[in-house]
Amino acid sequence: MSDRANGGPAAGLGEVSIRVEGLGKQYRIGARRRGRTTFGESVAQTVDTLLRRTARAPKRTFWALQDASFEIRRGENVGIIGLNGAGKSTLLKILSRITTPTRGRAWIRGRVGALLEVGTGFHQELSGRENVFLYGAILGMPVQEIAAKFDQIVEFAGVSEFIDTPVKRYSSGMYVRLAFAVAAHLDPEILFLDEVLAVGDLTFQRKCIEFSKDLQRKNATILFVSHNMFSIKSMCERVVYLRKGQIVYDGPTDDGIALYEEDCRLATASWIEKPPEEWPVLITDCQLLHANGESGNVFDFGEPVKLRMAYRTRGAVKDPNFIVALVRSDNVACCNYSTEADGVAVGTLEGEGEIVLDMPPLKLVSEAYTVSILVREPGFGQLLAQQTLGAFHVRHDLYDMHFGVYHERAQWTFRAHDVAPGPQATLLGRKLDG
């Protein structure tokens, strides 16, 4: 799939770092993994086999990636964007040689560093020290090079206290810090990043960004998968946009992000089986509005937001419960608004109409969010409709995911105990007032 040696296809690439031709990956739905099984799994497989003999279900397959072709030149920073399930991670796994393609081929020229899923390349039972050498070897670093850079790697990751602890006891942030530190000290000419900068504290994220900028100055090639369009826009001048496994756009970042956000608008959740035309209620349009009435997808922390949606019903629908959920980019449901919970009497709806939700000032931390709109029967009963509005962003220089889901200003009271009156007490009071 890849050729880093002299001669062969890669020899004629010139300034091209990555060339992909007709790349595709097909998966079989419900395929079982091979290898050892537990007793319970063996029983389940036996029952499943008996059922299949009586009812031969057709084998189902799907293409996670189809006919992908593109070239990336040395020094380019390219964002890979798309909705969930579009094939972004599959593409990076193929290029990283974690997954083999079903068809097509790719040539890569240069030393590759890849940081995909949390813990990829780590062994749970091994210590951090042992995993540094294991992961470094997987990335292609000689043992002597790993040993020479070991202290720098541990210092960069900030896990010196736990370096001899099995990584199964690490938090996800510690995992990523250590893995990124190893990849960083590989001095890669090509770096693959898959949504990893969302994990780790603020100080470490800044380290990663500085590291990526340093790679840019060294004319390295970076492929970056993220749902955070702020990060994509700041790091990438070009994006490749995937839709259902196929490349539908390859070009300047701003146009690609606009296409992504347009496709996000009023999408249907993957877990919904019934097509929209069969729902009793259909959301036909939806917009987020600033206080001045202008639509937008970037809002400042503390800004009030309006949600305006248009609907159409199939016949009369009595007392529907409209629910608006704000969901963070990592699928954490952060907030829900409900007509029923808020004591709003909707009555019977028939035909077309419009609903406006006035949200309180945004207290969500700076991140990317989607709006999920659900309509249920009274009492949060049967689902009548579901639509998902495209991503919007909350903007703030300080309050990000490290502050939690939201930030609310609190009241603080300080009282000094057992401090005699005099200069010391006065000094303490000045410190607290400041």
Rounded to the nearest 5°, which phi and psi values hold at 176? Answer: -65, -40
Could you tell me the two tokens for 66? 């189809």
Return the minimum-mean-pLDDT range out of 11-15, 313-317, 391-395: 11-15
Higher pLDDT, 176 or 167: 167
Tokens standing for residue 202: 């603020």
Q: Is the separation of the CB atoms in 66 and 103 below 8 Å?
A: no
Q: How far is C-alpha 3 from the geometric centre of its chain's CA atoms? A: 30
Asked if 303 and 361 count as a contact pair (C-beta separation under 8 A), the reply is: yes
Q: What is the pLDDT of residue 423?
A: 54
Kindly report, residue by residue over 216-225, the tens digit of the pLDDT: 888 889 898 8
CA–CA dist 315, 350 (Å, integer): 6
More confident residue, 199 or 228: 228
Q: Which whole number is the average pLDDT over 91-115?
A: 87
Structurally, at CATH architecture level, domain 276-403 sits in Distorted Sandwich (2.70)
- Cα separation of 391 and 294, whole Å? 17
The larger pLDDT score, comparing residue 398 to residue 205, is at: 398
Rg over alpha carbons for the chain, rounded to the nearest Å, is 26
pLDDT at 276 over 60: yes
Query: pTM score, two decimals?
Result: 0.61
Q: Where are the domains of the chain?
A: 9-25+61-264, 276-403
Strand partners, 307: 288, 357
- How far CA 422 is from CA of 124, 416, 428, 430, in Å, comes to 58, 13, 10, 13
Tell me which residue of 269, 275, 308 sits closest to 290, measured CA to CA: 308
Q: What is the pLDDT of residue 433?
A: 40
Give the CATH architecture of domain 9-25+61-264. 3-Layer(aba) Sandwich (3.40)
* pLDDT tens digit sequence for 361-371: 999 998 888 88
Report whether 180 contacts 212 (CB < 8 A). no
Segment among 38-47, 151-160, 294-303 with least mean pLDDT: 38-47
185, HSE (Cβ side, Cα atoms, 13 Å) = 25
- Rounded CA-CA distance 285/272 in Å is 19
Residue 196 belongs to what H/E stretch?
none
Q: pLDDT tier at 278 (50, 70, 90 boundaries)?
A: confident
- Which stretch of 161-175, 199-213, 242-256, 406-420 has the lowest confidence by average pLDDT? 199-213
Q: Residue 306 and residue 299: Cα distance in Å, rounded?
A: 11
Report the percentage of the chain scoring pLDDT > 90. Answer: 29
364: Cβ contacts below 8 Å, ≥ 6 apart: 301, 326, 328, 334, 335, 394, 405, 406
How is residue 297 written in tokens?
């997808």
Average pLDDT over residues 12-26: 83
Query: Percent of the chain at pLDDT above 70?
Result: 78
The model's pLDDT over 198-215, given as tens digits with 9 standing for 90+, comes to 555 556 666 777 777 788
Q: Give the pLDDT score at 65.
A: 92
pLDDT value of position 253: 92
Residue pair 356/306 in contact by the 8 Å Cβ criterion = yes
Encoded tokens for 20: 């992909």
Q: How far apart are the C-alpha atoms of 289 and 234, rounded to whole Å?
A: 25
Amino acid at residue number 300: D
